[in-house]
Structure 1
Amino acid sequence: MSKVPLWQWSAVKIASATKDGSLTAIEATEAAIARMQEVNPNLNAVVESLADAARAEAETLDAKEGPKGPLHGVPVTIKINVDQKGHATSNGVAAFKDMIAHDDAPVVRNLKAAGAIVIGRTNTPEFSFRADTDNPLYGRTHNPWGRHVSAGGSSGGAGSAVMAGIGALAHGNDIGGSLRFPASANGAVTVKPGLGRVPAFNPSQKAERGLLAQSMSVQGLITRTAGDLHLSMPALIAADPRDPFHVPMPWRGEPLKDPIRVAVSREDFGFGVHSDVATALDKAASALSDAGYSVEAVDPPLARETGEVGYRALLGEVNALIGPDIHQYGSTELNTIFEEYYRQFPPYEGTELLTMLAQRTHYARKWSLFLEDYPLVLTPFMLKPFFSPGRDAEGPAGVQDALGGAHWSFIMNFLGLPAGNLPTHIAELPGGAQPIGVQIAGRRWREDLIVDAMQAIEGTIAPACETLWADFP
């Protein structure tokens, strides 16, 4: 067996070892639990340990004849805003701490069906609507790189956990960047699936979500390497009849003719691009070029307008449908942050909101035509290195640093396009070292092309976990 500690093993390696019998599910589970018990007190990434249930599930798996599925024995965490039978779907809100789910959400069911073992539930900000993870119910989640940098949000617990070695996979979700912000902050790898790719539903919900939330919010995974996404995402996209708009397509699409063209955009929307972000983008472009991709400097259409319209439309729907709950159950800090969101991105209302929702098709069509020529688009994610903890609660400048220039994130949710994020540079900044991520967007339903490109980049640029673990043993 490898001398590398079990908690550092990739999902690919764990699944391979449990399949050939060189590793048991209980061994993989115990290693993840031990790591969780060692480092989580300092991180507060996992806010509900499921160690005992995980051990029992692992023993059941080990008693089976052959592997249960492609993720047999792989430890995973679940975000607390998704239903897991017998556990609270609190969404980081104290008033919801006793809202116990009576059934599993599709993503939880799919992961379990594939043989993954849930070891804990991870933290999120209130209502999962901040790019920083802190709430009055469970407190702040810290970044394993240090307390000089936020763990991101809203899947901040997931990003912190997986990079610290608490499970090889971490579930998260993304309505405006909530998979990619934590990936960028913690140096992890993710792909935000496109619209309809992963079945979604919370059995505990009291009402249906707004139409824009339904079309912008997606479920996904945060990992340490792109290879683990290729292993795990096919299980996540398995159909579930509770999501009537799920698109039952295979993970792999038709191969494209080489070389695949990649448009690289350095559009900064007037905010400027920090030198370390520019370095990360240059490294990614160079790695793709070395791997045989045709990399060209081209800006996609209507980028700033698409991002701004998308976020203003989302805030319009949020304000109308869940604004009263945020006002009633959210903390004073969250409500103050929302006031600034509304100031910087004035929510559309009434007829104007309906008009902009209709306009979404116009933007999507422009991008669809562009992606015919350039199947992949490489962009910055954040325009600056990731912000410090609590920065979004520090008035207008803080919200601008956290979300104000995040158009590259909002665009992909509004259009329902897939977008990956991976670290390509480690910045040495006054507060300490931190990873810098880039975004790779792609054609609708071609998450596989994005993950292929991220894997190609990893052929040149080592995963950030290797640097992290050298300083965070």
Structure 2
Amino acid sequence: MSDKDLWRLSATETAARTIAGDVTVEAVIAANLARMEAVNPRLNAVVVPLAEEARARARALDQARAAGAPCGPLHGVPVTIKINVDQTGQANSNGVVALKDVIAPGDAPVVSNLLKAGAVVIGRTNTPEFSFRADTDNPLFGRTQNPWGTHISPGGSSGGAGSSVMAGIGALAHGNDIGGSLRFPAAANGAVTVKPGLSRVAAYNPSQTAERGMLAQAMSVQGLIVRSAADLHLSMPALIAPDARDPFHVPLPWRGAALEGPIKVGFTKETYDFDLHPEVSAALDTARDALVDAGYQVEEIDPPLLHEAGIVGYRALMGEVLALMEPAIRAQGSKAINDVFDEYFSQFPPYEGTELLQMMAKRTYYARAWSELQQDYPLVLTPFLPQPFFAPDRDLDGVEGMREALGSAFWSYAMNYMGLPAGCVPARLANLPQGPQPINVQIVARRWREDLAVDACIAIEERVGRMCDPLWARLG
């Protein structure tokens, strides 16, 4: 492989080659920056390029290795950071014009942990206003495009992250997820992610002026979007390192104890009020067969209280948003984001007052049911969305648009409400009338066992292949 093609390497391949000295970090970063220059203008995924800073860090890492300093596990791996997380000297704009000059005085734990592991930040990626849409567009930086084409939204809120990593800009893309914001972009772009469980990754922004609401603390998590599932096993141990600024972080190792085999996987195609699209059904069949062939014991189950947990959880979250965020959204948000929130509040009527406290307390009821289920089924294979990913701005198309974009995603936000880990991996490349489109499935893991979800993602990827390969054949 020539130096100019080093952007094609996975994070695992990159770290192995830079640590061994087969290639320099400078060469890797130069290739990724060149790739950014080539494809980002039509994607608008990276909205704050950090080329000079990245080159300087690459030189420093090469010099340190040459001097005999130990290399971190992510030595020289190019990463992007979402613009709603603090990075020293950079604006934490969250896609909001009024916040464009909120400069971070320090690094968030996820940034400092990636840097400690040897990663190189090459840019910051786009998000919708307030990071609260399943699509990515804002008045500050504009729309992010999906590298598969303009017929598919890039997802949100980590849409810039999903688009950039699949287009070959960086091997790892940071994102976060309060209702699906890691998994939506993974599904839209054909990437792989695992939404960590409650308190698994330390979270804090030094620029913040108030603490987040209790449900935001319970439901929002930090994570990574990748194009090769094995890269999660390489990178997530660094991301989950402790940080005293998050007093509720749970300092467990990445790998849990080995389970007696075969591991049982609950399987469901249940989509409740929504029709299951044939392409999604086929993707689920492929994922099931891949797991069976890999030695898992897959059995159909009736998932307990899932739809109820999702709807109650999102209505509770909207209650907290109404109480704590609505004034800022109304004052600082565009008409588009205000229209989105009007529809959120209509379709997910916010709980308020005593009822909100009761529904927040009910999290334990739903989580207990799933904890009991997952004593028998440590993994559960589910749809992510009941239909292929939607078109840009679908959530602005009134009642039906919002129902498709978010109303059908109860399999997503239910996992945030219960605090369960959930992997998202492509299991099919569909040839639809509007164009080719990846179809992802979800793998819910037992609490604290993100590693099991990633193992299952790897087994599915080994059957299906990486989606970046056919994508790059199209992109060049």
The answer to whether structure 1 residue 446 and structure 2 residue 445 are counterparts is no
Secondary structure of the residue that 1:141 maps to in structure 2?
Answer: coil
The answer to whether structure 1 residue 158 and structure 2 residue 158 are counterparts is no
RMSD of aligned residue pairs (Cα, Å): 0.9
Alignment partners' CA distance in 2, 1:441 and 1:8: 29
Secondary structure of the residue that 2:205 maps to in structure 1?
Answer: coil
Residues 216 and 413, structure 1, Cα contact 8 Å, conserved in 2: yes
Deviates more, 1:70-79 or 1:1-10: 1-10
Instruction: Give 1:2 deviation, angstroms.
Output: 6.6
Instruction: Give 1:67 deviation, angstroms.
Output: 4.4
Residues 151 and 182, structure 1, Cα contact 8 Å, conserved in 2: yes
The answer to whether structure 1 residue 351 and structure 2 residue 358 are counterparts is no
Alignment partners' CA distance in 2, 1:49 and 1:338: 30
Alignment partners' CA distance in 2, 1:165 and 1:135: 23
- Where do residues 314-329 of structure 1 align in structure 2 (5 Å cutoff)? 314-329=317-332
> What amino acid does structure 2 have at the position aligned with 1:427?
A
Residues 73 and 234, structure 2, Cα contact 8 Å, conserved in 1: yes
C-alpha deviations, 1:370-401, integer Å up to 9, x for none?
A: 00000000000011100001111111111111
Residues 18 and 67, structure 1, Cα contact 8 Å, conserved in 2: no
Alignment partners' CA distance in 1, 2:84 and 2:211: 15
Instruction: Give 1:459 deviation, angstroms.
Output: 1.8
Residues 269 and 405, structure 1, Cα contact 8 Å, conserved in 2: no
Instruction: Give 1:299 deviation, angstroms.
Output: 2.0
Task: Report the counterpart of residue 381 of structure 2 in structure 1.
Answer: 378
Match of 2:219 among 216, 220, 234: 216
Task: Report the counterpart of residue 34 of structure 1 in structure 2.
Answer: 34
> What amino acid does structure 1 have at the position aligned with 2:7?
W
Task: Report the counterpart of residue 419 of structure 2 in structure 1.
Answer: 416
Instruction: Give 1:452 deviation, angstroms.
Output: 0.5
Match of 1:429 among 432, 437, 457: 432
Instruction: Give 1:460 deviation, angstroms.
Output: 1.2
Task: Report the counterpart of residue 16 of structure 1 in structure 2.
Answer: 16
Alignment partners' CA distance in 2, 1:281 and 1:306: 22
The answer to whether structure 1 residue 336 and structure 2 residue 345 are counterparts is no
Unpaired runs of at least 5, structure 1: none
- Where do residues 31-430 of structure 1 align in structure 2 (5 Å cutoff)? 31-64=31-64, 65-430=68-433
| Paired positions, count | 473
Instruction: Give 1:457 deviation, angstroms.
Output: 1.2
Secondary structure of the residue that 1:191 maps to in structure 2?
Answer: strand
Instruction: Give 1:300 deviation, angstroms.
Output: 1.7
Deviates more, 1:111-120 or 1:336-345: 336-345
Secondary structure of the residue that 2:298 maps to in structure 1?
Answer: strand
C-alpha deviations, 1:401-449, integer Å up to 9, x for none?
A: 1001110001110000000001010111111001000000111110000
Secondary structure of the residue that 1:70 maps to in structure 2?
Answer: coil
C-alpha deviations, 1:347-381, integer Å up to 9, x for none?
A: 10000000001111111111000000000000000
Instruction: Give 1:68 deviation, angstroms.
Output: 3.0
- Give the TM-score normalised by the residue count of structure 1: 0.99
> What amino acid does structure 2 have at the position aligned with 1:229?
L
Secondary structure of the residue that 2:464 maps to in structure 1?
Answer: coil
Alignment partners' CA distance in 2, 1:256 and 1:114: 29
Task: Report the counterpart of residue 7 of structure 1 in structure 2.
Answer: 7
Alignment partners' CA distance in 1, 2:392 and 2:294: 36
Alignment partners' CA distance in 2, 1:97 and 1:280: 41
- Give the TM-score normalised by the residue count of structure 2: 0.98
Residues 3 and 27, structure 2, Cα contact 8 Å, conserved in 1: no
Alignment partners' CA distance in 1, 2:388 and 2:24: 40
Alignment partners' CA distance in 2, 1:300 and 1:149: 30
Residues 421 and 444, structure 2, Cα contact 8 Å, conserved in 1: yes
> What amino acid does structure 1 have at the position aligned with 2:10?
S
Structure 1 residues 332 and 471: alpha-carbon distance in aligned structure 2, compared to 1, 3 A threshold: same
